[in-house]
Structure 1
Amino acid sequence: MLKEVEVVGNLIGNTAYKMNIDGHDIIIDTSVENGGNDLGPRPKALMLASLIGCTGIDVKMILDKMKVKIDDIQIKVRATATEEHPKVYTSFHVIYEFKGTDLDIRKIEKAVKLSQEKYCGVTAMLRMIGPVTHEIVIRNI
């Protein structure tokens, strides 16, 4: 069965839109150089943030179930984009950095793999655009 999702944006001035997503307001705009007022992040950058949120939530929940204690997780996404219009992303690289004491790399790798291959819907959607690769960095403290 399909589930319909709706997000509504209202113009709040010049090129800025205020969105309400799940009861949370967010403003999206463009840079001053592109004619906006820089009141919020750019739409395509939010796609990358969505990828971080999706896979980050998955990984944390999976590690919690595995009883793996993590002091911190930082996730970065690097995307390659075309220079001509429409400027689109063509590939994505996710860098997971885990900090903690005596971290179990096998469990971390399993959690990331499950997110990347099974659970993260944003990863699955972005794979329709281009390759999504990843790497894992462990920082034992």
Structure 2
Amino acid sequence: MHATVSWLGKMAFRGETGSGHEVLVDGPPDLGGEERGARPMELMLLSLGSCSAVDVVHILRKGRHDVVDCVVEVNGERAEEPPKVFTRIHLHYRVVGRDLRESVVARAVSLSAEKYCSASLMLSQAAEITHDFEVAQP
């Protein structure tokens, strides 16, 4: 994998992935940022949430479950002093599907957290990561 980060001025940067996608990143205003893009630590939460969401949807679809929506809300707490690493991260999944059992979603969330989500497994070395979920019908 490869990524390139290019400075655009002030505290803004353009990130480009090896697969050709771009994201705009900006530092916080107290460091000179202008709110032009996501902050780097917000991107870590997005990475974790999206990594796990891909796993959960893939696991459920592989099991031939009729998933119609999946939303993951990710909340992180950071240390007070630099380096302001994440100390706690909580993921809340809202999975919508037809005839979707809670036990099946619980298994998919667990498999993502404990086996498949590289971001979760990596960040869990530094932060306590917790999960919960809800299942809804369309």
SS in 2 for 1:38: coil
Do residues 104 (structure 1) and 101 (structure 2) align? yes
Identity in percent: 34
* Alpha-carbon offset, residue 81 of structure 1: 0.9
Aligned amino acid, residue 4 of structure 2 = V
Task: Please state which structure has a larger fraction of its residues in strand.
Answer: 2
SS in 2 for 1:84: coil
Aligned length: 137
Q: State TM-score, norm by structure 2.
A: 0.92
SS in 1 for 2:121: helix
Q: State TM-score, norm by structure 1.
A: 0.90
Q: Give the alignment partner of residue 110 of structure 2, picking from 92, 110, 113.
A: 113
* Structure 1 residues 1-141: aligned runs within 5 Å: 5-21=1-17, 22-141=19-138
- Stretches of structure 1 that go unaligned for 5 or more consecutive residues are none
Contact kept, 8 Å, 1:7 with 1:19, in 2: the verdict is: yes
* Alpha-carbon offset, residue 62 of structure 1: 0.7
Contact kept, 8 Å, 1:96 with 1:135, in 2: the verdict is: yes
- Stretches of structure 2 that go unaligned for 5 or more consecutive residues are none
Matches of 2:2 and 2:20, distance apart in 1: 12
Matches of 1:36 and 1:116, distance apart in 2: 33
Matches of 1:63 and 1:52, distance apart in 2: 16
After TM superposition, the structure 1 stretch with the greater mean CA deviation from structure 2, 45-54 or 81-90, is: 81-90
What's the RMSD between the two structures over aligned residues?
1.3
Contact kept, 8 Å, 1:81 with 1:89, in 2: the verdict is: yes
Aligned amino acid, residue 67 of structure 1 = R
Contact kept, 8 Å, 1:52 with 1:76, in 2: the verdict is: yes
